[in-house]
Amino acid sequence: MAQLLSCAIYICRDLTAEKKLARNIYVAPHKNEFSASMSVLLLNDKKLTQLPTVTNPQAMAKKFAANWREVNGLEVTGCAIEKIFYRPEHSCTVLYRLFFRNGERKPLDHWVTGKVFPSNRAGKRYQEAVAANHENNGTASIKQRSRQLEPVSFLSDLDMVVWAFPLDAKIVNLPAVISLEFVQEKINAHLAAFGFSANWRCANVELERVKYMPGKRCVLRYHARFQGPAGDTRDLTFYSKTYQDAKSRYHFEVLNAAYQQLRARNAIVQIPRLIVHLDEANTFWQEEWKGRPLIEVWETYDWNILFPRLAAAVVDLHCSEMQNLRRGPDLDEVLQVAVDDAVELFEMMPQLQPRLQPMLDRLAEVKNDLAKQPRPNVPIHGAMRLEQMLARDHEFAMVDFDALALGDPLADVAELTASLQFLELSQGKSRAPLAAVAELFYQSYAANVPWAGDRRRLAWYALAYWISKMYLACKNLDLAALAKLETAGIEIAEEWRKLI
């Protein structure tokens, strides 16, 4: 299994109070209670016996405080867990958000990534991490930007290697994109892209760290102040997205094409305007679209209005014309992902295999029949969930188009439907209302596209995605969802299977 860490990091620019941070940071609700399944996954992992501690934010606040106070005088005042990636008997990676004070007693916060190993491997992994850091010649600059945190640390009593942002072996341009001098220089080199004439200048820039996926990409938010020739000023906020390689250029171009197409159609769904691509940093800049994540506010809307409008927004995307998009996953690839995820899931929770294996067999049995049916080949988002949408009154914007491709539109519909239903497991929402709004969304969508809907194919995708979501609940140690995998998780999977 590939060693990938999916992290979500939200940092507020003004760190004068943790109360203000709480309004801007989403913290995954990892709790300290353990279901019977969690006891098997965590407490009985014979090679990673430290898991109950490293997944407990209160315990880790004390651990970090004890270790770092001796080194550099930092006073750790709190700790939150943003993300967990667990590989039974192999490793567990945890993204922490730390609150602390420096010698001036100023409240600060930072993100560190800790990875625990079996005791016979931990020391070697730490030495490898130190050697990699020295090879990159980044120690001094990274330590300074990390607000006195060592770039690589070792908590020997936990067999944990700790990396401080922005140390990243794969995203080598992170030190540049968090350098305000670099960013200001590039802004002034691209004034026209921001809509300013050459006699304007960027006088000041500040940044917030928004979303970080170690080894893959990083999203930052910049606040820039521009000054005109007559002394007048104007403030702008924009985002950057940095990738580990030059594929950032592809993502920039396809996203710009999507922006142009949807704008030309006066579409319901919007995409923030693309500003410029920085080839030397594998980074592109994009305007801010003021709104809130829909996953945070969707329950405040009238669902009978919201979901038909969401359906219309998805229709706009699917009916747009975009050139040079890559091919999206076909039925074989979707099935293979579900099978691979199920293998990992069964290793963690073998009691699920007798219930889910027949469902995998059914997916394989039906796939060839579905493959013979004609299917539209249109632009699809590839990760259609409420988390990927912003809302502002009754306007919507989509973000995170890394999976944008040409494919079956029902894959997007099924992903949104399955993600809605998964809220029963992850957030304790009631099943009946979730099923009702999912059906409302589908009916509104099907009534406005020029192709026929196929509930059987929709159910096939939804079941495949559902199995993957069950695996992700284990990999990310989503305690709320884990407690319901053997009950609601299986029940909903069975409902999809009956429709195939």
Closest CA to 82 of 9, 191, 178, 155: 9
Tokens of 498: 């009956």
For the beta carbon of residue 426, count every other beta carbon within 10 angstroms. Answer: 20
pLDDT at 235 (0 to 100): 97
Contact (Cβ atoms closer than 8 angstroms) between residue 189 and residue 204? no
The neighbouring-strand residues paired with 242 are: 218, 283
Rg (CA), the chain: 24
Tokens of 177: 């994109």
Gap between the Cα atoms of 416 and 406, Å rounded: 17
Domains and CATH numbers, the chain: 18-164 (no CATH), 174-287 (3.30.200), 292-499 (3.90.1200.10)
pLDDT at 166 (0 to 100): 86
Gap between the Cα atoms of 456 and 476, Å rounded: 30
pLDDT at 111 (0 to 100): 83
Tokens 């329950």, residue? Answer: 299
Strands 405-407 and 274-278: unpaired
- pTM for the full predicted model: 0.84
Q: What is the pLDDT along the chain (500 residues), one digit of tens a residue?
A: 222 222 222 222 232 233 333 323 323 334 434 444 454 455 568 899 999 899 999 999 999 988 776 656 678 889 999 889 999 899 999 989 888 876 666 677 788 899 999 999 999 999 999 988 877 654 434 344 444 577 899 999 999 999 988 888 789 898 899 999 999 999 999 999 999 999 999 999 998 888 888 788 899 999 999 999 999 999 999 999 999 999 999 999 989 988 988 888 888 888 899 999 999 999 999 999 999 999 999 999 999 999 999 999 999 999 988 878 899 999 999 999 999 999 999 999 999 999 999 999 999 999 999 999 999 999 999 999 999 999 998 888 888 899 999 999 999 999 999 999 999 999 999 999 999 999 999 999 999 999 988 999 999 999 999 999 999 999 999 988 999 999 999 999 999 999 99
Contact (Cβ atoms closer than 8 angstroms) between residue 343 and residue 468? no
Gap between the Cα atoms of 418 and 386, Å rounded: 11
